[in-house]
Homo-oligomer: A and B are copies of this chain.
Amino acid sequence: MKVRVEQKILDKNEQCAEANRSFFTKKGVGFVNMISSPGSGKTTILARTVKDLMGELHIAVIEGDLETDRDARRILEVGGQAVQIETKGSCHLSARQVTESVHKLQLEGLELVVVENVGNLVCPSDFDLGEDSRVVVLSTPEGDDKCAKYAKAFVKADVLVINKIDIGAMLEFDYEKVASEALKLNKGLKIFKVSAKTGEGMDVWYDWLRSRYRKNQG
């Protein structure tokens, strides 16, 4: 019974996800779904990215949180376009919530919409939002043992951003262990090491975004 209902919920989500995918493809706008634990630095990465790529890559952010509109305000503060979804306790964003939020964005001239999912390394992995790329963020203080333990999040991702490398050495974070475990789960995974706080390594992440989403490559 439980399994059948879960399947129904997932099927319904998949229909909405496909609708989102068609919508974004038709508009020629990229769509990234960003997943991580709470506090890994998703919002800091996005605020810095939006600011640094301003005038070069047109990004809007859909922020998902259980409660508060704090994250959307951080994107607005750096001059970006953002809308907030408050899930009121739900542990993941659904494709339908994205559909409803997209219409609050000014899509004209936009090249990329990034959805920052609810801080949760487990549940959001099961819910396709219709994204063309999935980015998982892992921060060094979370520890270098997380890929095998939370495998699903890494198996379905296109990119792994390892954040907070400014304190990685101090925490004896083993990048090779993480890369090895992550690539064992998902051999096509791209891995970027960054500090959204200091800016270190962000250029490689920006290059990936530019090459994938910038319309005017001139």
Contact = CB atoms under 8 A, between A and B. Distances in A.
Interface of A: 1-2, 5, 9, 37-39, 65-68, 70, 89, 91, 118-123, 139, 141-143, 145-146, 148-152, 164, 167, 170-171
A123 B123 contact: yes
Stoichiometry, as copies per complex, reads 2
13 contacts: A1-B5, A2-B5, A37-B121, A37-B142, A38-B150, A39-B142, A67-B148, A91-B120, A119-B121, A139-B141, A141-B142, A141-B164, A141-B167
A78 to B, nearest CB: 17
A158 B120 CA distance: 22
Contact of A170 (B66, B68, B145, B167): B167
B67 A151 contact: yes
Contacts of A65: 149
A152 B90 CA distance: 11
Contacts of A145: 70
A97 to B, nearest CB: 15
A157 to B, nearest CB: 15
A11 to B, nearest CB: 13
A153 to B, nearest CB: 9
Which secondary structure characterizes the binding site on chain A? loop
Contacts of A171: 167
A37 B119 CA distance: 9
A192 B28 CA distance: 51
A142 B43 CA distance: 12
Contacts of A120: 91, 120-123
B68 A141 contact: no
The 10 closest A-B pairs by CB, nearest first: A39-B142, A141-B141, A91-B122, A39-B143, A37-B38, A37-B37, A5-B5, A91-B123, A120-B122, A38-B121
A154 to B, nearest CB: 11
A91 B149 CA distance: 12
Contacts of A70: 145, 148-149
